[in-house]
A = this chain, B = another copy of it.
Amino acid sequence: MSSPTGNIYDRDPSEDVIQQLKSIATKLRMDSIKCTNAAKSGHPTSCASCADILAVLFWHTMKHNPEDPRNPNNDRFILSKGHAAPILYSVQVELGHVKEEELENLRKIDSDLEGHPTPRLDFVDVATGSLGQGLSCAAGMAYGAKYIDKASLRVFCVMGDGESAEGSVWEAMHFASHYKLNNLIACIDVNRLGQSEPTSIGHDMDTYKRRCEAFGWKTFVVDGHDVRSLVQVFFDARQSEDKPVMILAKTFKGKGLPGIENELEWHGKALGDKADKILQALNETTKGAKPVTLVPERPAKAELEVITPTKVALSDKPEYEIGKLMATRQAYGTALVKLATVYPRIIALDCDVKNSTFSENLKKVYPQRFIECFIAEQNAVGVAIGLGTRHRFIPFLSTFAAFFSRGYDQIRMGAISQANVKFVGSHVGVSIGEDGPSQMALEDIAMFRAIPNCTVFYPSDAVSTERACELAANVEGMCFIRTGRPANPVIYKGDETFEVGKAKVIRQSETDVVTVIGGGVTLHEAIKAAEQLAGKGVNIRVVDLFTIKPLDADTIVKHAKMTKGRVVTVEDHYPEGGLGDAVASVLAQYPDIVMKKLAVKQLPRSGPPQALVDMYEIGAKSIVAAVEGDWANTIGQK
């Protein structure tokens, strides 16, 4: 093979190269049809529209080693339109990385070729399938590669047109141009048809172009089925010097599938008994074509090494006087710097509240390792997920905990991506005070508990917060650390050891009649209650869970039994899905243990923090009442 310039990977390769790319695209369409037909479900028409794009990207534009898809020097690829998974799998078959017969197992329970791509597959970095998320992850990878790893790799992201209605896409567009991510190349497969009707913009390529340009991207419109044009435009895209690049590819859904191309009713359907005839027709088009000998160009340079996770420890142990008032959010800022000092791959991200979450501490010391994501939480989560891929970075993303609800779909998908992001949410509960309910996280524990494999830390003082951060940096997977706004007394000595899933008994005597379990502000209220009750000759045990997930069921049950089978939980959170529900879920398995749950039972309002804590019955007075009150009656029901 040769090209006018002598290099097959150049802007104007020979006709032979173009013919081979066309043959590959046809093969990808055929593979996609066959495997979705075998599965009796899937999205073959969404595959057909991007077949030419993927052929050009994987065999001509991208520099990668298909035998070693996790090689850190490879260009990256994200299929944001995850429902086109079959064509990505077909690409891997044609590249020789996945066995052809495995395609027959698409969507089967024992195959990793799932309905939408997940990192169970070594050629997938992030899971997709909830639309509009891929670009943020790609932007995170591109940011890390350009600014921190200082590598020359490119990140490619193929999106659907329907998903460009998602606001998260425009958050990512803004982020990428703001940070001049010229190593990020996205392509929208504008096939005009959504699931249930045509997209709102259809084939109006000008509108797409104006929007992308207005958001600061170098933008090309191209016929997404013209292989030579695609080769050229992607070649040009690689030359961008300070802007991310958007390729708007005008395509047809079901392209090349006679009777199906450009028809509405074929979203998410296998072709069934129409398949044979269509496969025949596709096969016809490759007749006489030379066999494919084209292979992808390998990365020019081996710039990056594989990162192996290593243990990360605080540079200095926590140093606080017992009883000193210190907000856990402030201890987070301290811990972040201590960890970053030891491990250069600790990165902090924030959403324009860094002076409230204290992530600005890191920015002050290591400005290159802080990423301001502005007020765009969805994208921030996606960027963090992207940064965390392949162990390249350990991203700590902070904002007000309430605003993680903005990125909950991204967090949900992060679990499927096996993401390694540490979420740090401050300003939780009514104890934030006057700003009122819009700023109060009261459902954050419920949110993060329901994420599989997510570790939920709820440290209650500065020492345990620093240790929570240290443990989180070492946990493989997603973590949530709940920090608070008010300053509360330090409880632990600096050398206290903490473990994931291990609670601490912070106050006990042999005559304790109830175990009280709190977290953050309410743990301090429990301590106050214990002191008040002790004055009346009633002793209670106080437990600090430290981690809410995994939960230390053994400690809870053991101490519940030692305190007459009585437990009170108290939390600055709504009653559903939080600390109380976590404990109830354990205690419901045991007879002879009864539990009362104190939580914020109404929509709260603005007011002074302590007044709100008392008003919503999660303060010392309410704990005392729960311990003293009708307990005799409850136990009496036995």
Contacts and interface: CB of A to CB of B under 8 A. Distances in A.
Contacts of A635: 591
A138 to B, nearest CB: 16
Nearest to A599: B585
Nearest to A569: B588
Contact of A584 (B360, B415, B588, B637): B588
Given A453-B603, A576-B449, A115 B197 contact: no
A591 B637 contact: yes
28 contacts: A39-B434, A107-B607, A115-B435, A120-B605, A129-B435, A132-B375, A166-B167, A166-B171, A167-B376, A167-B378, A170-B170, A194-B374, A196-B350, A196-B356, A199-B374, A200-B374, A207-B214, A210-B213, A405-B411, A406-B409, A413-B438, A416-B437, A443-B447, A449-B576, A452-B602, A588-B588, A591-B594, A592-B592
Contact of A165 (B82, B171, B615): B171
A446 B452 contact: no
Given A109-B607, A211-B211, 11 more contacts: A114-B436, A127-B437, A129-B439, A167-B168, A196-B372, A210-B210, A210-B214, A446-B576, A576-B582, A581-B584, A589-B634
Q: What 5 A-B pairs are tightest by C-beta distance, nearest first?
A: A167-B167, A129-B438, A109-B607, A577-B577, A584-B588
Contacts of A405: 408-409, 411-412
Interface in A307-359: 350, 352-356
Given A171-B167, A194-B352, A409-B405, A638 B592 contact: yes
A28 to B, nearest CB: 21
Contact of A129 (B436, B592, B634): B436
A162 interface: yes
A436 B603 contact: no
Interface string A592-606: 111111000011011
Interface in A567-593: 574-578, 580-585, 587-593
A205 interface: no
Contact of A581 (B354, B376, B585, B607): B585
Contacts of A416: 437-438, 603
Given A109-B608, A162-B374, A443 B434 contact: no
Given A439-B129, A581-B581, A196 B360 contact: yes
A114 B440 CA distance: 13
A297 interface: no
A165 B376 contact: yes
A587 B590 contact: no
Given A408-B406, A577-B449, A594-B589, A376 B434 contact: no
Interface string A384-407: 000000000000000000110110
A588 B583 contact: yes
Nearest to A111: B606
Contacts of A82: 438
A580 B581 CA distance: 10
Contacts of A502: none
Contacts of A596: 589
Interface in A205-220: 207, 210-211, 213-216
Contacts of A594: 588-591
A165 to B, nearest CB: 4
Contacts of A565: 591
A128 interface: yes
A450 B443 contact: yes
A41 interface: yes
Nearest to A451: B443
B196 A165 contact: no
A128 B436 CA distance: 11
A369 interface: no
Given A107-B607, A109-B608, A372 B197 contact: yes
Interface string A120-141: 1000000111111000000000
A601 to B, nearest CB: 8
Contacts of A167: 166-171, 376, 378-379
A34 interface: no
Given A162-B352, A374-B200, A603-B416, A127 B575 contact: no
A116 interface: yes
A549 interface: yes
A129 to B, nearest CB: 3
Interface in A551-565: 565
A289 interface: no
Contact of A449 (B168, B170, B379, B446): B446
A450 to B, nearest CB: 4
A174 interface: yes
Contacts of A615: 109
Given A107-B434, A413-B438, A446-B447, A196 B353 contact: yes
A166 B118 CA distance: 27
A611 interface: yes
A178 interface: yes
Interface string A141-175: 00000000000000000000011011111110010
B452 A603 contact: yes
A436 B575 CA distance: 31
B597 A356 contact: no
A82 to B, nearest CB: 6
Given A379-B167, A438-B413, A353 B581 contact: no
Interface string A232-261: 000000000000000000000000000000
A582 to B, nearest CB: 7
Contact of A194 (B114, B375, B439, B595): B375
Contact of A352 (B197, B214, B589): B197
Interface in A68-113: 82, 107-109, 111
A327 to B, nearest CB: 16
